[in-house]
Structure 1
């Protein structure tokens, strides 16, 4: 039986065999078409019958396929690789125990692999994935079927592996990973995520110089020498050569700081330099403009779809904006079998997060769920997955898993207006004109354990402190107590009529739950850079239940000082039950200094209009009780 965090059974999983202990590892270099050597670890089950063939799972990582322990710990491990990402260890053990081969890869320009990095998921890196698959299917143990999975960077690598349209790759599970790199992680709502790029860049730079202790803490140096060398590299000379090549890796944060709009080109981008012949791209991108599109999975949806592989989009409600990534992927890529799961998780799925609850270690059987998916599509066994609904989501506050044939589930829209007395009401305003002024507090923030930090602080839980103190810096509107419970499932949409003393502004809107004791809990949020507000026609085949914006420089539109402007944008999707007697609150900010870039100069003063002519409001997707 597979159980969720809430101990709610949604299926009997008799097709997943019990774990059979025992695996052995081989490490080696594979030489790519251009002579670059890529380090791989191959894991095979020790219980494999002689001559038996099996499918393989490939996990391509930017964060070391394994680390090397110092003595005497290395001797105690008997030469076995040491892994610092527990979720990968658990998944590998489960799959190998179920009769799969597993291949971990240090992607080009990282770990013990040679080469250097010009961007994330570069065209050359994507091509490398196909050559690793070629090597896999030539092995005597291979049955010719390959799947790919991974979380975060590895999830993006799994998805982009399909750009090669390799016939052996039949299923992928991109977990907790971006679909649109611009709007999902680097510039949500067009607002620069400065903390993320700076912190992630510093972490990656430490790995690239083989000094993980510079990122994780000095004590790590007591136990590890850095990335695991390949078998036979006894004097570590090959590892040293590979690490030396990483000196040419690009600076992630500096490149991000050089960008502002989606179609901007970074000075260091070798694929878009004026007057130079660019290296060849790969696949069939929908848009070759801009540096960030180069490595954004959404730009290659046609190749992913044409691959014919099954896709499992997998994320959590508190995983930055990656819940929306999974949804956009699910809507856009019409593979033969595309599944979607959205749970009460932060990045990686290790923590169960809900408003008004302390974070708890997740008890969800992630490995079992993934094993069922790959069993179904790599020919191992019939797991019964095909007969189940394609969408599973967890409703927080209610503590229940639910199913649907698509996303979002059927809902009605309930509108709440911003009203006088800082109230939130379902009655439309009667006054022609009314507004509340708010001088932006540039010290406002959401703290050190928010949804926007979980992608780097992967082992830590998302925690939002009680919001009374934070809300004193914001402009808030609170409803009367709800007569009955209200389930918000889908994409809340906010419309604000705003005037400003500046020609641009960042708007943050928080949806909060105020309980009967007056405690305030964070539910979800949305953000928008006002200059990026123009809404564009949705290009085919995208299907979104939210406004579409290009975020291109040519489409930007500065504010005109003191002129009323309509801003309509979505909040990060959620599924949450607000209990009867609780009150809803909308909190409006002009900055989140904990995570996002704050404009220089005098903080602007905003006027949020709420009269009949400019009725600011929020639309909540409300699911009626079954």
Structure 2
């Protein structure tokens, strides 16, 4: 098909029924009013003018050249849109999205068919809006998202508190504190800025008020009723990201309406993600939209239900530009057959089932509370130390079981399952399980992991305290993986009672007694499949180039103060200062985050995350600084935050979210 001309509309005001004005950036194919076109809609709080402009400019012009309009809209209180944000995936946000879809479908340039797309926030709300069934929404592409907001997002994981919850709360304070661009909104910019500064919430307060899987988390979790989603859905994720479970959960829940694609990637669109190989996302997305928004008979509906990249004995490194492996496809996805392992009398992980009624073999486990510093981030944006590094340091604080060197390659795809019996020495505690590839030279690669708050052992809605000394059975489903363990390598199961700083510690650290004789590990066998090739993008460097004024920088450090018996995990991320060559707007974000803990005292845990956000043009400079903190007692979480705003280096605003204590639920 010949490339079509198009026009970029830098800012279009859309007036909602309640009088709120939202800002859109539109890529419009030429001649659309005479020959109406389908539309792809993306709805985010991340600022079309500067925040997402590089990735938008890598994709929507390609769609427009293929005759598909792109409409990228900032949600309330973001970018140039009016109002103040009121939370994540709120009823108001989703209602706005439905109204916007109807607006798009009613435009003279629209053929009445709308697709919704996004990564992360936009991937989340695409699925959630699909479940609301707005009539004009015909298909979805959801990347790095979730079907279960409680267990597969940055807040909680099987009842464990993720440190990313504080990190993300600080991020959103920083992101939402930025003003609209005066070049688009004119003199109203400062009035709008002050309104959102005064009104933006500290999301952490709401999240910590819902420590169980209650109605707050059920809202927006399409796993509550998969049947609500009736339209074709392409679900994409990467093994290096925290949202790796979603594609397989989606096809299991949605059946033939869904297609799954999982690559080796971090939290990025797959045409520019790391580690490589990448995919021709543009080509596949255009075919997807043409099929479901135009009715083109192009065969995209005949894709295998699940396609995945099988990582081949990868090695952790300071930076992973490319991961060895191969692509496989399954025409129909079904729960895989498990290869079972148990621990034999000499402590080896051995193929087979645990011996029924074997005598108990209790082993006491109490990991140092700083076990976990090799875990990386929950969701990753770069293929460096944000990803899990060599696991040997974490294994030192763990109970480990290895196979003998493998006699043949072993391929797996799906979610490993661990079962065991244990006795706790307190009323609560955490358990982490890691599946690790031990290379012949001892290098340890994390393949999959899972965590459970032991009071949530029977579900996340109604946790129950443990009875010290009482035997309980645990079934822990690890995150999904696609992996080849090579001949000569060993498979390791690592168990720990801590996984810090990714997982925050329980109030008591008494340890557990694990009955080794009861331990069973099931690994999901790859089974029947086809080897496939997936086309890589023609353009290896698709992101636009902006003017660099200050280079980006990143640093991660673990500092162990032996005299003070304290471990600090320190993060420094600087996006650099970059100027958009067409708008003249320069932006920069700086993240400074420190987590600290005494390896023997769970109540010593503290976290501080600070975001500094700059925006400038000649003669205009604004800065916001947002800091969020968390600490704990045995009974309470203690949180606080402050947001400060500057215009031309003069402080014009400060909002203090005073220290607040929120009772800890069963831990």
Give the alignment's TM-score, normalised by structure 1. Answer: 0.77
- Aligned counterpart, 1:12: none
Q: Give the Å deviation of 1:250.
A: 2.5
Unaligned runs of 5+ in 2: 313-323, 530-667
Conserved 8 A contact 1:491-1:620 = yes
Matched, 1:318 2:240: yes
Matched, 1:383 2:298: yes
Conserved 8 A contact 1:351-1:461 = no
Matched, 1:552 2:461: yes
**d(CA) in 2 for partners of 1:442 and 1:368?**
47
Match of 2:426 among 489, 492, 502: 502
* Superposition pairs of residues 483-494 of structure 1, within 5 angstroms: 483-494=407-418
Conserved 8 A contact 1:478-1:583 = yes
Q: 1 or 2, which has the higher helix percentage?
A: 1
Q: Give the Å deviation of 1:440.
A: 2.6
Match of 1:564 among 459, 467, 471: 471
**d(CA) in 1 for partners of 2:379 and 2:472?**
31
SS class of match (2:442)? coil
Q: Deviations over 1:66-99 (max 9, x none)?
A: 23xxxxxxxxxxxxxxx54543332212211211
Match of 1:189 among 155, 158, 161: 158
Change (3 A) 1:229 1:162: farther
- Aligned counterpart, 1:575: 482
- Aligned counterpart, 2:513: 607
Q: Give the Å deviation of 1:609.
A: 0.7
Matched, 1:521 2:479: no
Conserved 8 A contact 1:90-1:367 = no
Q: Give the Å deviation of 1:174.
A: 1.4
**d(CA) in 2 for partners of 1:400 and 1:227?**
45
**d(CA) in 2 for partners of 1:351 and 1:592?**
32
Number of equivalences:
515
Match of 1:241 among 168, 192, 212: 192
- Aligned counterpart, 2:223: 298
Conserved 8 A contact 2:117-2:126 = yes
**d(CA) in 1 for partners of 2:35 and 2:6?**
16
Q: Give the Å deviation of 1:449.
A: 3.1
Matched, 1:120 2:88: yes
- Aligned counterpart, 2:457: 533
**d(CA) in 2 for partners of 1:443 and 1:518?**
22
- Aligned counterpart, 1:90: 58
- Aligned counterpart, 2:491: 584
Conserved 8 A contact 2:343-2:350 = yes
Q: Deviations over 1:321-343 (max 9, x none)?
A: x2222322222235x63211122
- Aligned counterpart, 1:329: 250
SS class of match (1:234)? helix
Q: Deviations over 1:273-302 (max 9, x none)?
A: xxxxxxxxxxxxxxxxx3222343434644
Conserved 8 A contact 2:305-2:330 = yes
Match of 1:374 among 289, 311, 326: 289
Unaligned runs of 5+ in 1: 1-16, 68-82, 211-225, 264-289, 354-358, 535-548
Q: Deviations over 1:106-131 (max 9, x none)?
A: 11232222233332111111111122
Change (3 A) 1:390 1:369: same
Match of 2:9 among 22, 25, 42: 25
Give me the CA root mean square deviation: 2.6
Conserved 8 A contact 1:491-1:572 = yes
Change (3 A) 1:29 1:312: same
Matched, 1:150 2:118: yes
**d(CA) in 2 for partners of 1:149 and 1:622?**
32
Match of 2:328 among 402, 423, 447: 402
**d(CA) in 2 for partners of 1:190 and 1:203?**
23
Change (3 A) 1:412 1:128: closer
Conserved 8 A contact 1:150-1:158 = yes
Change (3 A) 1:246 1:375: farther
SS class of match (1:348)? coil
Change (3 A) 1:33 1:84: closer
Change (3 A) 1:407 1:318: farther
Conserved 8 A contact 2:26-2:72 = yes
Q: Deviations over 1:311-365 (max 9, x none)?
A: 1111122221x2222322222235x632111221121245999xxxxx6344322
Match of 1:141 among 92, 109, 134: 109
Q: Give the Å deviation of 1:238.
A: 5.0
**d(CA) in 1 for partners of 2:292 and 2:277?**
26
Change (3 A) 1:163 1:424: closer
**d(CA) in 2 for partners of 1:446 and 1:24?**
45
Q: 1 or 2, which has the higher strand percentage?
A: 2
Change (3 A) 1:108 1:506: same
- Aligned counterpart, 1:447: 374
- Aligned counterpart, 1:258: 209
Q: Give the Å deviation of 1:175.
A: 1.0
Q: Deviations over 1:212-265 (max 9, x none)?
A: xxxxxxxxxxxxxx544684x333x157426614632331122222222112xx
Give the alignment's TM-score, normalised by structure 2. Answer: 0.72
| Structure 1 range deviating more: 590-599 or 149-158 | 590-599
SS class of match (2:287)? helix
SS class of match (1:610)? strand
Matched, 1:424 2:376: no
**d(CA) in 2 for partners of 1:130 and 1:155?**
15
**d(CA) in 2 for partners of 1:39 and 1:352?**
27
